[in-house]
Chain A
Amino acid sequence: MSAYLIRNANILGEQVADILVRDGVIESIGSALAADDATVVEAKGLIALPGLVDIHTHLREPGREDAETVLTGSQAAARGGYTAVFAMANTEPVADTAGVVEQVWRLGKEAGYVDVQPVGAVTVGLAGERLAELGAMADSAAQVRVFSDDGKCVHDAVLMRRALEYVKAFGGVIAQHAQEPRLTEGAQMNEGELSGILGLTGWPAVAEEAIIARDVLLTAHVDSRLHVCHLSTKGSVDIVRQAKVRGVNVTAEVTPHHLLLTDELARSYNPIFKVNPPLRTAEDVEAVRAGLADGTIDVVGTDHAPHPMEDKECEWSSAAFGMLGLEEALGVVQLTMVDTGNLTWAGVADRMSFTPAKIGRLADQGRPLVAGEPANICLYDPDAARTVDPYASASKSRNNPYADRELPGAVVATFLRGVPTVLDGKLQEISA
C-alpha cells in the first residue's frame, strides 16, 4: 500500500502540521516529516478534518438505481469529504432483513469509496405494523446498529416503545423520522402564512414536535437511546434541549438545507425545494443553527435524497420529496456555521464526523487525527468558492437545491483508510 505525506495541513484549524499516512493508518503527525517513498500532498491553507460521517443518506439501491446506486452515492459522498455513510432503509425491497442489509453493505465494500453502513428498518416494509427482525440485522455481517423507518414515522406509540426497548439488547438506536401522520395528510410545505397564500397543504411544526416530545418521554421511560432525524423547527430544538437537561439519551440531527434554506423558496412552486420535513421559516433556521452550535443538535446529516428528473419536473404536489446534499454539506456548514462564528473547525469535526460515528457505533470512523488512528481524512480548502452546478456531480440525480448558488469551500482530498478517493478535487479510480 502506498504512503502519502500531507504537508502543512491545518489540523482542525488548530495546528499546522504534516501528516504521514502509511498502510491505512496515520503513522505520524509532526513538523517537517519526511518519507522518501511517500507521495507528497501539499496542503498549505487546507483544513484537515477527520473523514466525514453521514448518519443519513439515501443510496436508493436496491430498487431505484435510476436515481442513485451505492456506487454513485458513495462517489458523491467521497467528493463531499465523507468516508462513511449510513444508508437509509427505504429501498425496494426495504432493508428490513439481514439479507438486504448485507447486500447493501457488500455493494458498499465493492464500490470502495466510503464505508456504507446500512440502516435497518424498524418495522416490516416500513409499514409501521410489526417489528422487523432487528436482532438478525444486528447480528448480520452488516452489524446494523441504527434502525429507522425514515420517510415514515414510527407513529404507533406501543411499537415505538417496543423498538426502543428491543434494541437495547445490542446497543442499537432508533432514528425517528418525526412526523405525526394525521396532522400531515397531503402536506406539501411548512404550514404558515405562506402555505395559506400558496394554497399548498401545510405541514405544521407541531406534527414534528409532538412526536419528538412523545419519543423523548418514551426513551426516558424505557431507558433507551433515541436519535431524532432531520429536526427542523425551533420547537423541536427546545424539546431536545430540555430532554438533554433532564438526562434523556437523545441525539438530534439537522440537514444542511434546514441550516440554510427557508420556506420562501416554495413561492416559486419549483419542487426542487420540496422536502420532508419541509423547509421552515427564517426563525427556525436561526434556531437550528443555534441548536447545532450549542450541541443540542449533535450532528449534521445530509438526508441526501436523489430523485430522477421526472419526479421533480412536474407540479409541486405531484413531485417527490427530497434533495441532494452530500457534495454541498460541508460548504453549507461552513457558510452557515463557521463563517458566521457559530462553530469552529473542531466543532465541525465533532458534528460531522466524531459524533455521528459514535451514534452509529462505527468503530474506525470518526476518530481523532492522531498517530495510530485509521487514516480517514478530509482536506478542505475554506477559501475556495464555487457556483453549484448540478451537472458537475457524481450523483445520478440532479435535484440540487443549491443549483446556481455560491457556496464557499472545496474538498481537495478525501482519504479512506489511507486510500485517496478524491485527490486534487477529483474523484479517483478505486481498484477494489
Chain B
Amino acid sequence: MRHLLSAGDLSRDEAIQILDTAEELLNVASRPIKKLPTLRGRTVVNLFYEDSTRTRISFEAAAKRLSADVINFSAKGSSVSKGESLKDTALTLQAMGADAVVIRHHLSGAPHRLASSGWMHGAIVNAGDGTHEHPTQALLDAFTMRRHLGDLTDRRITIVGDVLHSRVARSNALLLSTLGAEVTLVAPPTLLPVGVEKWPVHTTYDLDSALHKADAVMMLRVQAERMQNAYFPSAREYSRRYGLDARRMGMLPDHAIVMHPGPMNRGMEISAEVADSVRSVIVEQVTNGVAVRMAVLYLLLSGSNESDPIPESLV
C-alpha cells in the first residue's frame, strides 16, 4: 500500500490488516501515555481545502499519537485561497519533506492527482474528495461494525440517503463488499447514481423493506438545499420516506446498530430519539476514527524509506 485513495483499492487482506492493526492501537487511548514513538521524525501534512474540523482533528490526533510531526495546511488563510495551484502546493509540501499528505478536497479526484502527477513523493491519504470517496471513514465504520457484529461476512448493511453526493456511501459500498458484507443502498431514485446497478450492492427505494433484516443501518447526511435541484420535493417528504425514526428503528432486529458519519441533521434523516438511543454507535465512531487513522498512517509510512528526491524535471 503506497497511498490510500479509494476504498476500492484495498484487497480483503489489506483491509483486514488495517482493521486488526486499529484494534491493537485502540488500546493506546486507554494508556497513561497515549503515544507511540513509531513515526518519530516523520512529517504528516493535513492539507485541507474544505472545512472539516472533526476529520482534521482525528487525523491530527492519530499522527501525533504516533509521534509524527504534524503540519496543518488549511486552504483558509494560506496561499491556497490566494489561488495557488494544487501543483505549486504539492511542490511546496515536497520541499518541506512531507512523508504523508492527508488531503481533504471539495473536488473529486484531487488526491489521485497528487498521487499520480509526480509533483510530490509522499504517501497520499484521501480524507474525503468531493463526491468521490472517503476511505478512512469507511474503514472506521467497518471497524465499528466489526466490534459490534464480529466478522462482517454475510452481514447485512443498509445505507440510506443521498448516495449520489456521498463519498461515505461510495467508500462504504466498496469496502463492505470487499469484506463480504451484503450492502443495500436505499434512496429516492433521484439520489442514486447512474450505473449503480453495476455496483456490488443491492438497491431499493423503499426503506421499510430494507430494515427488518439489517444488522446495521447507516444514515447519510442529506443537505436540505438538494431540494432546490428537485432531488426531492421537501425536507418533510424526505424525512417521512427516508428518515430513521423510532417507528422504523423498531423494525430493526434487536442486535442491529445505527450509524451516522456526522454531522447529523436531527429531524431530517435521523430523529433525535434514534440518534440518542442505545443502538446508536455514533459517538463510538469518532473514537474509533483515531485508531483507524493511526493504523493507516502506520501501515503507509513504516517500511517506506526516506522519501525520494525530487526529480530534476521539477526543480
Contact = CB atoms under 8 A, between A and B. Distances in A.
Chain A–chain B contact at Cβ < 8 A: yes
B112 A269 contact: yes
Interface in A266-286: 268-270
28 contacts: A191-B194, A192-B194, A193-B194, A195-B194, A196-B164, A196-B193, A196-B194, A196-B195, A196-B196, A197-B170, A197-B195, A197-B199, A198-B109, A198-B132, A199-B133, A199-B167, A199-B170, A200-B132, A204-B194, A268-B112, A269-B108, A269-B113, A269-B116, A310-B85, A313-B117, A314-B113, A315-B107, A316-B108
B63 to A, nearest CB: 24
A136 B110 CA distance: 47
Nearest to B105: A315
A360 interface: no
Interface string A159-197: 000000000000000000000000000001001111111
Contacts of B112: 268-269
Nearest to B129: A199
B107 A318 contact: yes
A195 B193 CA distance: 8
Task: State the 3 A-B residue pairs at the shortest beta-carbon distance, nearest first.
Answer: A193-B195, A199-B132, A196-B193
A202 B170 CA distance: 16
Interface of B: 8, 85-87, 105, 107-110, 112-113, 116-117, 129-133, 164, 167, 170, 193-196, 198-199
A194 B196 CA distance: 10
Given A195-B195, A196-B193, A199-B130, A317 B85 contact: no
Nearest to B174: A197
A268 B108 contact: no
Contact of B109 (A191, A196, A269, A313): A269
Contacts of A193: 194-195, 198
Contacts of A197: 8, 170, 195, 199
Nearest to A202: B194
Contacts of A199: 108-109, 129-133, 167, 170
Contacts, number: 75
Given A195-B194, A314-B86, 10 more contacts: A188-B108, A191-B194, A196-B196, A197-B199, A200-B130, A201-B131, A204-B194, A269-B112, A314-B85, A315-B109
Interface of A: 188, 191-202, 204, 268-270, 310, 313-318
A278 to B, nearest CB: 13
A268 B116 contact: yes
Given A193-B195, A199-B132, A317 B116 contact: no
Contacts of A268: 112, 116
A194 B195 contact: yes
B103 to A, nearest CB: 11
A188 B109 CA distance: 12
Contacts of A200: 108-109, 130-132
Contacts of B110: 269, 315
A60 to B, nearest CB: 21
Contact of A317 (B117, B130, B199): B130
B194 A316 contact: no
Nearest to B6: A197
A195 B132 CA distance: 9
Nearest to A310: B85
Contacts of A269: 108-110, 112-113, 116
Nearest to B132: A199
Contacts of A201: 131
Nearest to A185: B229
Contacts of A315: 86, 105, 107, 109-110, 113
A114 B234 CA distance: 58
Contacts of A191: 194
A318 B113 CA distance: 12
A316 B113 CA distance: 8
A272 to B, nearest CB: 11
A194 B109 CA distance: 13
A317 B108 contact: yes
Nearest to B173: A197
Contacts of B113: 269-270, 314-316
Interface centre among B85, B107, B112, B132 (most CB of A within 10 A): B107
Nearest to B164: A196
A44 to B, nearest CB: 41
A386 to B, nearest CB: 22
Interface centre among B8, B113, B196 (most CB of A within 10 A): B113
Contacts of B129: 199
Contacts of A202: 194
A318 B194 CA distance: 23
Contacts of B117: 313
A268 B5 CA distance: 12
A359 B107 CA distance: 41
A1 B108 CA distance: 58
A162 B131 CA distance: 41
A284 B112 CA distance: 27
A195 B130 CA distance: 13
A315 to B, nearest CB: 4
Contacts of A194: 195
B229 to A, nearest CB: 8
Interface centre among B8, B87, B109, B198 (most CB of A within 10 A): B109
Contacts of A188: 108
A269 B6 CA distance: 13
A198 B170 CA distance: 9
Contacts of B194: 191-193, 195-196, 202, 204
Interface centre among A192, A202, A269, A316 (most CB of B within 10 A): A269
A313 B87 contact: yes
A209 B117 CA distance: 35
B116 A316 contact: no
B85 A313 contact: yes
A196 B131 CA distance: 9
A198 B164 CA distance: 11
B145 to A, nearest CB: 23
A315 B119 CA distance: 13
